[in-house]
Structure 1
Amino acid sequence: MSKYIEPAKELTILEEVDVVIVGGGPAGVSAAVNAAEEGLSTVIIEKNGFFGGANVGGYSATIGGLFNSTEDGKPEQIVQGFAGRFADLLEAKGGLVRLERFGHTWLSPHDPFIWKETADEIIEKSGAKTYFHTNFVDTIVKDGEIEGIIVENKDGRGVIKGKFYIDCSGDGDLAYRAGAPFVFGKDGDIQSMTFTFRMTDVDWGKYGEWKLEDVWKKTLEASATGNYHLPRKHPFIFKAPNKKQAIMNATSIVAKDGRTLYPTKTKDLTEAEFLGRKQVREYERFVQDYIPGFENSYLMDTASQIGIRQSRTIVCDYTLKNEDVVEAKKFDSAIVRSAWPIEVHLGDKGVKVVNLDEDYYEVPFEAMIPKKVNNLLVAGRCISAEHEALASCRVVAQCFEEGQAAALAAVQIIKDAKTSRTISIEKLQDKMREKGSLI
């Protein structure tokens, strides 16, 4: 392969601030708001023209992880803090269905536009500075310290310098470029991607008391006819805040040759987008033909990007283990609870779900401290967790709280001349509780 040597360029320093956040999904929005509200000068950069990450751009369109189920099957909210605050704001705007049953637990479907709008408002009010349509390109690192990041947008390339950095990119892009070690799932095997979409003109009254298990039986029945290409036999259908709409988390993207598709490879992402749009039409046709209430429904829109469940997992001081999840382990350094099931999407092999009964586990702060990079924390789906454990702790409510924990840790680090490994965990937890967190 021939090569071209790019000439060296003199880059403008665009910002010099306390905290730099890469990625504007749930973790990034939470980190930016919390850092700015605590008086730190804060910059958040986002490749899209809106906040929300995979939860909005990928149309997962639900807040999972807020609730546990009590012994009598009733919902119990075990995550509050910024996650609860944001959910309350969405609900006040009519943009959230508070409770939708999901297996042994509950989730909260939301309206993607109202999510974007709410994030805009809360970010602007906090005073954090936003760079939309801006790509993170590389890091400037010296002796294990990030001195700046290189970004690129319509104005060209530039440098943003901070005292501390938080990687909320989902893919661990910042940590990876800074030299932190990482893994891909279990021996390179990661969860499959999904292309999510919305249907409209749904008659939920006619759908009635149907459960997801009923939909799954019909999926198998339709597949057996040979008239539908439905690689995922366990599609998820949720009621949207708009009473005529349905959120369709239904597809499963598998490469034509069966290989794993990686969200860190442009070729694989491109193939996934093509495959996803083709599958959307198949699932639209299936629900119109087989599911009560969907006879006159039709495709309203699709996600603006492929939905990603798993990418780089950054190796940190502690890795959340599978047994930590199933045994409901509690930690002295906990920053968030979770009762979300282990939910592993295996492409055309189905979905493996392990419920956690009525208990919950906790995610420790050390799972966000990358090895080999000092002035950096990771938050969101790139935290350090084993393959199955990540399939539980990667959901939205936990991402919100990890972002809050990272921001409040940065306050200690910058104001008290501490490091991620020497801050007072008790002080961090007290501050989180002051902001409503349940830990």
Structure 2
Amino acid sequence: MQNETIHESARNIPVVGEYDLCVLGGSCTGVFAAIRAARLGLSVTIVERMGCFGGVATLSLVNVWHSPYDEVFAKQIFAGLSIETMDRLKLRQAVTEYKANPNLAWAFNSAELQIELDEMIHENQITPWLHTSFVAPHIEEGHLSSIIVENKSGRSALKARFFIDATGDGDLCQRLGLETYRGAHRQPSTTCALFAGWNHLSAINWQKLLLDHGEEFGLPQGFCWASAVPDSDLQMLAGTRVYQDCSDARGFTQAEIEGRRQVRAIHDLLRKYAPDAPITLQSLPARIGIRETRHVRCHYQLTGEDVLSGRAFPDAIANGAYRVDIHHDDKPGITFRYLNGEESYSRPGHPKEFGRWRPVSEVNPTYYQIPYRSLIPQGAFGNLLAAGRFIDADEQAHAAIRVMVNMNQTGEAAGTAAWLALKHGQKAVDVDASSLRTVLQENGSIML
């Protein structure tokens, strides 16, 4: 039965909008791409298959963003819309700020962020399409001219002069037939959850409880951390480890169900072994937090050597300092590699192992860069850019650059590059990198 097919009759599909730019995917990466382009004067639409914008930061409940400073906290390395958004949330007492912390710079209220992104979309006169699924690209005479979508109104088409794939999985690129690939060791996903009453565990080593009794509840060994939701008694817990491949429908479905099972298992474990701590499960994510699925082949693959050596690129459009953070798919725990040459491996129930991935050096890089070329898919479509975690990066580079504050910058760059390409009648690959960097800096980004 799996090989059986049915015939879908041909039909005329109404065009419900024509724009300069269509952004596919409503994560913060996609939203920031849309805002940058709209502020430069483009008519912009953004398409999101879920019911809100923000991606992992809202739908998946991951309520932390990392530092805007380099690894030694001596120099600010990014600004732009990430900072602007956090500043807006501060006005609502929806952010807790942390100074010189390698693990996080801001913890925020994901629900407040949902509404803030709605307001930013409205303020910049961007046309939103929520609960709208991407179906297929439409090609006319070898040119990407529109995308076909489906929602409560049925099937329709959105035409645009330029497109940005910010789907996280490269869905538009993949369905255009462009080359995509998967890493040999794909990082597992995590289902987060919000709990109330977590403060009752303050005198209890809950991480040790999970380690000692996790096997009893079918919990794989991994890495567990938590973050308080500002101005509330809620705690976001990231303690699950889900190995299913989320790049296909069956794997994605299984991952969602397995992630929720593990959340309940953690809750049941704590009820049994910390019975005097009355914690309650308050909220589950609308979507599992995915670290990695497929990547698209671009004009340059960013490598781990590029990242760890702090290689400077003439077409750099983003700067980051978050460590290489490898959640292993073939053994418990995680490995951290730092720009100063240090390395650590954390495995539940064992002492942390320290070492070096390179010898001691008198001079160490303190940040790394992402080049514009890693956002330009190879292939025949000159009016297409990639932004987000599926850009071209090897396993080690991806483990560092994938965090949201880095990917937000790729969105801002893609939106700006789309404006430049349309302004000068160019293909994405022909956009002048120096001009791109200048416009980004003029509009709030930090270019180093």
TM-score by length of 1: 0.89
Residue matched to 1:269: 252
Q: 1:124 to 1:156 in 2, by over 3 A?
A: same
Query: Do the aligned residues in 2 keep the contact of 1:65 with 1:396 (CA within 8 Å)?
Result: no
Query: Do the aligned residues in 2 keep the contact of 1:216 with 1:233 (CA within 8 Å)?
Result: no
Query: Do the aligned residues in 2 keep the contact of 1:200 with 1:297 (CA within 8 Å)?
Result: yes
Residue matched to 2:66: 64
Residue matched to 2:231: 242
Query: Do the aligned residues in 2 keep the contact of 1:368 with 1:377 (CA within 8 Å)?
Result: yes
Q: 1:323 to 1:290 in 2, by over 3 A?
A: farther
Residue matched to 1:6: 8
Residue matched to 2:153: 155
Establish whether residue 207 from structure 1 lines up as the match of residue 198 from structure 2: no
2: CA distance, partners of 1:143 / 1:58: 39
Moved more, 104-113 or 125-134: 104-113
2: CA distance, partners of 1:190 / 1:175: 19
SS in structure 1 at match of 2:429: coil
Query: Do the aligned residues in 2 keep the contact of 1:194 with 1:276 (CA within 8 Å)?
Result: yes
1:251 to 231, 234, 240: 240
SS in structure 1 at match of 2:95: coil
Mapping 1:347-358, distance limit 5 Å: 347=329, 349-357=332-340
Moved more, 264-273 or 331-340: 264-273
Establish whether residue 221 from structure 1 lines up as the match of residue 219 from structure 2: no
Residue matched to 2:26: 24
Query: Do the aligned residues in 1 keep the contact of 2:218 with 2:265 (CA within 8 Å)?
Result: yes
Establish whether residue 33 from structure 1 lines up as the match of residue 35 from structure 2: yes
1:338 to 317, 320, 341: 320
Establish whether residue 108 from structure 1 lines up as the match of residue 115 from structure 2: no
Q: 1:89 to 1:200 in 2, by over 3 A?
A: same
- Displacement of 1:108: 2.0
Mapping 1:298-313, distance limit 5 Å: 298-313=280-295
Establish whether residue 424 from structure 1 lines up as the match of residue 432 from structure 2: yes
Establish whether residue 168 from structure 1 lines up as the match of residue 166 from structure 2: yes
SS in structure 2 at match of 1:106: coil
Amino acid of the residue matched to residue 418 of structure 1? Answer: Q
Q: 1:131 to 1:181 in 2, by over 3 A?
A: same
Mapping 1:284-433, distance limit 5 Å: 284-287=267-270, 295-347=277-329, 349-357=332-340, 359-372=366-379, 373-433=381-441
Establish whether residue 138 from structure 1 lines up as the match of residue 145 from structure 2: no
Query: Do the aligned residues in 1 keep the contact of 2:67 with 2:100 (CA within 8 Å)?
Result: no
2: CA distance, partners of 1:290 / 1:86: 40
2: CA distance, partners of 1:245 / 1:21: 33
Amino acid of the residue matched to residue 430 of structure 1? Answer: T
Percent of residue pairs bearing the same amino acid type: 28
Query: Do the aligned residues in 2 keep the contact of 1:91 with 1:98 (CA within 8 Å)?
Result: no
Moved more, 35-44 or 345-354: 345-354
What's the CA shift string for 1:318-341, capped at 9, x where partnerless? 111011111111111111111111
Establish whether residue 48 from structure 1 lines up as the match of residue 47 from structure 2: no
- Displacement of 1:350: 2.3
- Displacement of 1:141: 2.4
- Displacement of 1:80: 0.7
Query: Do the aligned residues in 1 keep the contact of 2:60 with 2:289 (CA within 8 Å)?
Result: yes
Residue matched to 2:344: none
Query: Do the aligned residues in 2 keep the contact of 1:69 with 1:105 (CA within 8 Å)?
Result: no
1: CA distance, partners of 2:338 / 2:270: 27
Query: Do the aligned residues in 2 keep the contact of 1:65 with 1:398 (CA within 8 Å)?
Result: no
Moved more, 316-325 or 416-425: 416-425
- Displacement of 1:353: 2.1
2: CA distance, partners of 1:411 / 1:87: 25
Query: Do the aligned residues in 2 keep the contact of 1:75 with 1:106 (CA within 8 Å)?
Result: no
What's the CA shift string for 1:253-298, capped at 9, x where partnerless? 13xxxxxx22121111111122111110222244566789x92322
- Displacement of 1:106: 2.8
What's the CA shift string for 1:166-211, capped at 9, x where partnerless? 001101001111222110122xx3111111101112328x738x9x
- Displacement of 1:45: 0.6
Amino acid of the residue matched to residue 280 of structure 2? Answer: Y
How many residues align? The count is: 419
Structure 1 gap segments, 5+ residues each: 255-260
Q: How large is the Cα RMSD of the aligned pairs? A: 2.3
- Displacement of 1:388: 1.9
- Displacement of 1:381: 0.6
Amino acid of the residue matched to residue 384 of structure 1? Answer: D
2: CA distance, partners of 1:201 / 1:216: 16
2: CA distance, partners of 1:77 / 1:296: 42
Amino acid of the residue matched to residue 366 of structure 1? Answer: R
Residue matched to 1:86: 85
